Amino acid sequence: MAPGWIVLVAILAFAHGSAAALDLSLPELGDPAARVLSSQEEARIGQQMMREIRREVALVDDPAINAYVRDLGTRIATATDMPGAAYRFFVVDDPRINAFAMPGGYVGVHSGLITASRNESELGAVIAHELAHVTQRHIARRVAATQGVNLRTTALVLAGLLIGSQNPQAGMAAATSGMASGIDSQLAYSRDHEREADRVGMRILARADLNPQGMPDFFQVLMDDSRYRSQPPAFLSTHPLTEARIADARAIARSIAPSEIFESPDHAFIRARARVLSAENPDEAVEAFAARVQSQPDRGNRYGLAYARIRAGDVDRARRLLDTLASEQPEHALLVLARAEAAMADNAPEAALAELNRGLSLFPDHPALTLTRVEVHLQSGRPDKALAITRTLSHQQPNAPEVWSLHARAASAAGDDDESALAMAQYYAVQGDTQAGLSQLKRLDPATATPNQMARARALRERWESRIAPDG
């Protein structure tokens, strides 16, 4: 295999750097990449990779967690040097501590990263680091060093290697052993990129009014934790750390700290939800959070215990906990959500709707509250009301896969199979799988579809066919 391919595979599999000390004063690198790999070609590689990943890796479907990560990612992305770029944030259902970026602005966050972060700045630091890899075009720079790159083959190999980091058995089926060989010996090629991503990432974090100290703080937590494990956290396998690198990061963070730091109060509740959902079963989650509340009765742990009890069917005790939390801070969207979820678990859809409507009067268009209201309408046999809401949502949040999935369900329940097909086409397309989207468009029946639906299908078909990368 040609050396260029080894470098390309190594870098695009995100096997970042060596354990060399970090020089955060490293000057920014140039951008010869655009002369070889265009932004459109990067997007095509990312779409192909996302298609493969979606087939092999489980994604989190909790609307509150997805909305939070997407909002945080968008907040950080607007502080980059490419604020207008199209970014896609998604959450992988994996307890390991990791995150990754792909060509075209796709950024994956493990649920384990959410549960391991102690505050929003620590979680944001990792997202900012990965966004720096995208904005600095590190992927394109390595492709620029190769010749005769077949974009589709590149995407398939890279997706296989990335999937392998999430699911080794599936990943090795997707990546040939020949193309995957030699990666370990090529890690040094991404050393400068890793340094630049750390330094640029902390700048991004500060511009987003988050604490850049979150990066060295989280690095220190991971390093300390790895000393007591036989296998270090997944993040460290691709981002090796040294005490010198952490010390340098602390010095830089102090020099660029914003005058005011704002962290959303949602982080503690989202972290708790992710912990509950990652438990083997609800009873295990109740036991774990009961122990946490005994030792540290903060709001996040008490919320987690309430949410775990809802999922375990212990609704009355959950409500009492939520009432106490609400007395301390009555206006919090995720408390309203939990109270509605308790009502749903108690088979009381009207009470759930009352909670959600009250919450939406305080937090208009809150994604999790709105999506849950759709779920209540569907479960209580009111698909037309659900469909009316998802029609609006699909215009307001056109890049949210869960919105399109729910719109498809609502349309199907309301008997509009053509609208359901259009929605499923969009669901696949926003995740990068335009080929699956095109397949869904074939489900439309000209005999039953409205002129508007047929016109939308034609427009989508023309747009998506132009995005499909040629094989050569």
Compute the distance between CA of residue 326 and CA of residue 322 in angstroms, rounded to an integer.
Answer: 6
Radius of gyration from C-alpha coordinates of the chain: 23
Give the pLDDT confidence score for residue 371 in this predicted structure.
96
Q: Quote the DSSP letter at residue 59.
A: B
**pLDDT mean over 72-95:** 91
Give the pLDDT confidence score for residue 384 in this predicted structure.
97
Give the pLDDT confidence score for residue 472 in this predicted structure.
40
**pLDDT mean over 252-278:** 95
HSE value, Cβ hemisphere, 13 Å, CA-based, for 92: 26
Ordered by start, the domain boundaries in the chain are 3-256, 267-364, 381-472
**pLDDT mean over 287-302:** 97
Compute the distance between CA of residue 119 and CA of residue 129 in angstroms, rounded to an integer.
Answer: 16
Give the pLDDT confidence score for residue 49 in this predicted structure.
79
- Structure confidence at residue 380 as a pLDDT band (50, 70, 90): very high
List the Cα angle 372/376/381 in 5-degree steps.
Answer: 150
- Structure confidence at residue 284 as a pLDDT band (50, 70, 90): very high
- Say yes or no to pLDDT of 189 above 70: no
**pLDDT mean over 358-382:** 95
Place of tokens 């295999």: 1
| Residue-by-residue DSSP string for 105-162 | TEEEEEHHHHHH-SSHHHHHHHHHHHHHHHHTTHHHHHHHTSSS--HHHHHHHHHHHH
What pLDDT, in 10s, does the model give residues 416-441?
A: 999 999 999 999 998 888 889 999 99
- Say yes or no to pLDDT of 87 above 80: yes
> What is the total residue count of the chain?
472
Between 122 and 35, where is the model more confident? Answer: 122
The percentage of the chain sitting over the pLDDT mark of 70, rounded to a whole number, equals: 80
- Say yes or no to pLDDT of 11 above 70: no
Place of tokens 């719109």: 407
Compute the distance between CA of residue 418 and CA of residue 406 in angstroms, rounded to an integer.
Answer: 15
Give the residue among 23, 25, 22 at the shortest CA–CA distance from 241. 22
Residues 6+ apart with CB under 8 A from 50: 88, 102, 104, 106, 159, 431, 432, 433
The most confident of the ranges 43-52, 248-257, 450-459 is: 450-459
CATH architecture type of domain 267-364: Alpha Horseshoe (1.25)
The two three-digit tokens of residue 154, written as one number = 């590149």
Amino acid identity, position 255: S
Average pLDDT, the chain: 82
**pLDDT mean over 242-266:** 90
- Say yes or no to pLDDT of 469 above 70: no
The dihedral over CA atoms of 162, 467, 62, 212, expressed in degrees to the nearest 10, equals: 60
Compute the distance between CA of residue 49 and CA of residue 433 in angstroms, rounded to an integer.
Answer: 9
The percentage of the chain sitting over the pLDDT mark of 90, rounded to a whole number, equals: 57
Give the residue among 397, 399, 396, 373 at the shortest CA–CA distance from 386. 373
- Structure confidence at residue 324 as a pLDDT band (50, 70, 90): very high
Q: Which range has the worst mean pLDDT, 44-48, 122-126, 467-471?
A: 467-471
**pLDDT mean over 246-265:** 91
Compute the distance between CA of residue 381 and CA of residue 386 in angstroms, rounded to an integer.
Answer: 9
Between 31 and 63, where is the model more confident? Answer: 63
- Structure confidence at residue 150 as a pLDDT band (50, 70, 90): low
What pLDDT, in 10s, does the model give residues 203-250?
A: 999 999 999 999 999 989 888 878 777 777 777 776 777 788 888 889
What pLDDT, in 10s, does the model give residues 383-406?
A: 999 999 999 999 999 989 999 999
Burial code of 350-384, b = ≥16 C-beta within 10 A, e = fewer? ebbbebbeebbeebeebbbbbbbbbbbbbebebbe
Q: Which three-class secondary structure string do you get for 377-439?
A: HHHCCCHHHHHHHHHHHHHHCCCCHHHHHHHHHHHHHCCCHHHHHHHHHHHHHCCCCHHHHHH
- Say yes or no to pLDDT of 54 above 50: yes
- Say yes or no to pLDDT of 163 above 80: no
Give the pLDDT confidence score for residue 269 in this predicted structure.
98
Secondary structure (3-state) at 24: coil
Give the pLDDT confidence score for residue 432 in this predicted structure.
80
